[in-house]
Amino acid sequence: MGKVTKRPMMGVIDLAVKNNAHTKAFDFIADACRGRTGRVLEVGCASGYFGVALKQYGHEVWGVEASSQVATVARRRLDHVYVGTIEEFLASRASREVAFDFIVFGDVLEHLVHPTRVLRACVALLKPAGRVVASIPNVAHLAVRLMLMEGRWEYSQLGLLDHTHLRFFTRASLLEMFAEADLVVTHLDAVRLPVDSVGIAVNPRLLQHVASLLSDAEQDVFQYVLMAHKASRVEATRRNARFLPDKARHVLCLLPIVEWSLGDIRIRHPLEKWQQMHGGVFRIRHVYDFPQEDLQWADAVILQREADLYVLELLKKLQQLGKCVIFDIDDLLTDVPPFLSVYTHCRRVKPYLEQALRMVDAITVPTQRLQEKMTAYNPHVYIVPNCAAMMPVPAQHYDTDNNLVTLVVASSDTVRVDFIVPALRRLMDDPEIHLRLVGIGPPGAFLTDAGLAVTCYDNMPYDQFHVFLASLDNAIGIIPLDDSVFSACKSAIKFIDYALTGIPAVCSAVPPYSDVVEHGVTGILVTNAVDAWYAAVKRLAHTTTARQKLAAAAQEYCRISCGLDRAADGWNEVFTTVKSGQGEPVSVPALQRQLRLRKLRAVIAKHGTRPAAYRKAFRILVQQGPQGLRARLARE
């Protein structure tokens, strides 16, 4: 997000911009609705541009707007608009005739003389399960702090110190206000902007000297965005306290790659939701390059997938520091099939990985089958399911002049797609249907080499992947999977990706897809036979209504069962249950000796039956002595 701009009076909402209060508020409402629609009251609706986004989702939207000129525009766009202040609306007859599922305050509360009183009055307008959604500027932004250090307090036409602001809030004071209004905060998020993007002039020398002294996580928060529901004052006070900075649990995530799709699926996106719902704070760093002070800061440390001697040394250090250590593993990496590109690497690091799994305090996995496999190494194995967020505007399905349908095959690794090549070739040659084939990641290259006409795309960041899928109207997801123990331990994340972006899927009738897909209702399950794949895809490509029904049912299923809140709650259970000291202590030097001995046995097993190997060993012993022979064995 760029520099602060004046609130648009006639604008539109770009829900693809995530670091934005409107998007976060919209997502809160969408998550709470679970696919249902409701009645929304937007306080300070301006021209109705945010309400339009809500109406497109199916909501009935009421607005309150003090400016009669702007309200005239809003009336053409929203269902009902009251011209006046929120206080006047609350005192009017109109407010006593209707109840709301959501009441939205988008940068409004700071403009009110008595915001707590208004919030408390609005609670009476909510349905029993109704929510308040609000965005509020943070007066503790670093730019304001620096300005105060110079003895300045300068209002402006907009932004943090808008000249019409009557009240100013920090994280703690807004949580207190909502508790006093009998509202429990269920979600709290933040729009973050650097100092040079908030419209406040600061002394660069002061910034240079002071910024490094501040360690709190609030200094770049421009706005807080929250959702709350009504409760007793006692309950609201108790539960809102979990979002206070001194109550937050600190989680350090040390990943083999900081920016990658697997990290987004398993760590970043679930912990962002966990942070919203449970008030924790997390940092993501590279496992081989991170500030050592992060270890002191952390209450819990998450490692992911990779293990080597460095990781074992790190685990030993974390054990000595008394940190709670969790190892997240998404695949059966202790038994990798040869066709995967990581096969050789996984075989090489397997001894380190197995030892790391024993040393940590807990293991997190996405599926029950993988949980059962991991208990061979550690009794503390928790399921944190793979989940994803729904796209606000998913792909659509409709009749066109040429009835072109896109088949999508995607994977971040070299999964087996060879057994669907004959079916795809028949489909592409079939004159009764009009298809194009899109391959994302390694499957695209494989299908091209097999002689198919494929539009290929490299692997892309996870968020971009979802946006891309949602742009593919009239598409079908193709999800082939072999029937192996390794594949059965996977999650159905590809089906979830397609479902939440509006794309129906045809999947191999093997676990995990046979576990979650209801055949003919939420997706199509087929045996890994050419005729079965050909018939299923052709039938779906032929019928627009079938694609629409499958896409809608899959979307609804995943919205209810695979939302990020489930993953967030899973991580919260791990953080609140797992204790440090549960892992198996290990002597790293002893492990090194064990690994060297294992390698030596492998060399002997490989060469020990060959007379030439003995002659060669004797020659090295004569020429270089025992030390030279040991060095050669080590190289082997």
Query: Looking at residue 28, what is its pLDDT?
Result: 94
Indicate yes or no: pTM above 0.75: yes
One fold for 250-383 and 404-562? yes
83 pLDDT exceeds 70? yes
635 pLDDT exceeds 70? no
587 pLDDT exceeds 80? no
Name the pLDDT band for 632 (thresholds 50, 70, 90): low
Q: Which two tokens stand for residue 165?
A: 């602001």
Please compute the mean of the pLDDT values over residues 283-295 and round it to a whole number. 95
Please compute the mean of the pLDDT values over residues 173-196 and round it to a whole number. 96
- Whether the bond between 431 and the residue before it is cis, its omega within 30 degrees of 0, is no
Mean pLDDT of the chain: 90
Which three-class secondary structure state does DSSP give residue 102? strand
Q: Which residues contact 502 (CB under 8 A, 6 or more apart)?
A: 391, 394, 395, 396, 397, 469, 470, 551, 555
Q: Does residue 599 or residue 616 have the better pLDDT?
A: 616
How many whole angstroms separate alpha carbon 393 and alpha carbon 380? 40
Query: Looking at residue 581, what is its pLDDT?
Result: 92
Q: Which residues contact 442 (CB under 8 A, 6 or more apart)?
A: 341, 411, 412, 413, 414, 415
Query: Looking at residue 443, what is its pLDDT?
Result: 87
What contacts 24+ positions apart, CB below 8 Å, involve 456-462?
459/261, 459/412, 461/259, 461/261, 461/264, 462/261, 462/264, 462/265, 462/269
Question: How big is the chain, counted in residues?
Answer: 636
Query: Looking at residue 13, what is its pLDDT?
Result: 76
Q: Cβ distance 504 to 540 under 8 Å?
A: yes
Domain over 404-562 is classified CATH 3.40.50.2000: yes
Residue type, 448: T
176 pLDDT exceeds 90? yes
Query: Looking at residue 341, what is its pLDDT?
Result: 79
Which three-class secondary structure state does DSSP give residue 587? coil
CB-side neighbour CA atoms (13 Å) of 239: 20
pLDDT in tens, 396-408: 999 988 899 999 9
Angle at 556 (CA atoms; ends 553, 558), nearest 5 degrees: 110
pLDDT in tens, 300-315: 999 999 999 999 999 9
> Virtual CA dihedral for 616, 622, 626, 632, nearest 10 degrees?
-30
pLDDT in tens, 254-271: 999 998 899 999 999 999
Name the pLDDT band for 8 (thresholds 50, 70, 90): very low
Query: Looking at residue 211, what is its pLDDT?
Result: 77
6 pLDDT exceeds 70? no
DSSP symbol at 195? G
Quick one: 523 exposed, middle or buried, by C-beta within 10 A (0-12, 13-18, 19+)?
Answer: buried
Q: Per DSSP, which regions of 84-215 are E strands?
A: 100-106, 126-137, 183-192
Please compute the mean of the pLDDT values over residues 456-475 and round it to a whole number. 94
Name the pLDDT band for 614 (thresholds 50, 70, 90): low
Query: Looking at residue 242, what is its pLDDT?
Result: 94
End-to-end CA distance of the chain: 54
Query: Looking at residue 592, what is its pLDDT?
Result: 59
Please compute the mean of the pLDDT values over residues 368-395 and round it to a whole number. 94
pLDDT above 70: percentage of residues in the chain: 90
Which uninterrupted H or E stretch holds 41?
Answer: strand 39-43
Please compute the mean of the pLDDT values over residues 401-417 and round it to a whole number. 85
Q: Cβ distance 504 to 476 under 8 Å?
A: yes
Please compute the mean of the pLDDT values over residues 3-20 and round it to a whole number. 62
How many whole angstroms separate alpha carbon 139 and alpha carbon 167? 10
7 pLDDT exceeds 70? no
Residue type, 57: Y
Query: Looking at residue 362, what is its pLDDT?
Result: 98
Q: Does residue 287 or residue 635 have the better pLDDT?
A: 287
Residue type, 315: L
How many whole angstroms separate alpha carbon 16 and alpha carbon 389? 12
CB-side neighbour CA atoms (13 Å) of 626: 0
Helix %, strand %, coil % of the chain (to 5): 45, 20, 35
Quick one: 354 exposed, middle or buried, by C-beta within 10 A (0-12, 13-18, 19+)?
Answer: middle
How many whole angstroms separate alpha carbon 415 and alpha carbon 337? 10
Which uninterrupted H or E stretch holds 506?
Answer: strand 505-508
Q: Cβ distance 200 to 147 under 8 Å?
A: yes
Name the pLDDT band for 33 (thresholds 50, 70, 90): confident
Domain covering 250-383, topology = Rossmann fold (3.40.50)
pLDDT above 90: percentage of residues in the chain: 76
Please compute the mean of the pLDDT values over residues 1-6 and round it to a whole number. 36
> Virtual CA dihedral for 205, 208, 213, 217, nearest 10 degrees?
120
- For 593-621, letters b (16+ CB in 10 Å) and e give eeeeeeeeeeeeeeeeeeeeeeeeeeebe
- Domain 21-246, CATH homologous superfamily name and number: Vaccinia Virus protein VP39 (3.40.50.150)
Please compute the mean of the pLDDT values over residues 277-287 and round it to a whole number. 95
pLDDT in tens, 522-554: 999 999 999 999 999 999 999 999 999 999 999
Q: Cβ distance 39 to 62 under 8 Å?
A: yes
Name the pLDDT band for 278 (thresholds 50, 70, 90): very high
596 pLDDT exceeds 70? no
How many whole angstroms separate alpha carbon 537 and alpha carbon 525? 11
- For 501-522, letters b (16+ CB in 10 Å) and e give bbbbbbbbbbbbbbebbeeeeb
Please compute the mean of the pLDDT values over residues 145-156 and round it to a whole number. 94
Q: Which two tokens stand for residue 571?
A: 């991580």
Q: Which residues pair with 479 in a beta bridge?
A: 507
pLDDT in tens, 240-254: 999 998 888 999 999
Judged by average pLDDT, the poorest of 137-141, 244-248, 437-441 is 244-248
Query: Looking at residue 4, what is its pLDDT?
Result: 36
Q: Cβ distance 490 to 367 under 8 Å?
A: yes
Domain residues of the chain, as ranges? 21-246, 250-383, 404-562, 588-635
Q: Does residue 1 or residue 30 have the better pLDDT?
A: 30
606 pLDDT exceeds 70? no
What single string gives the DSSP state of each residue in 268-283?
IHHHHHHHHHH--EEE
pLDDT in tens, 506-517: 999 999 999 999
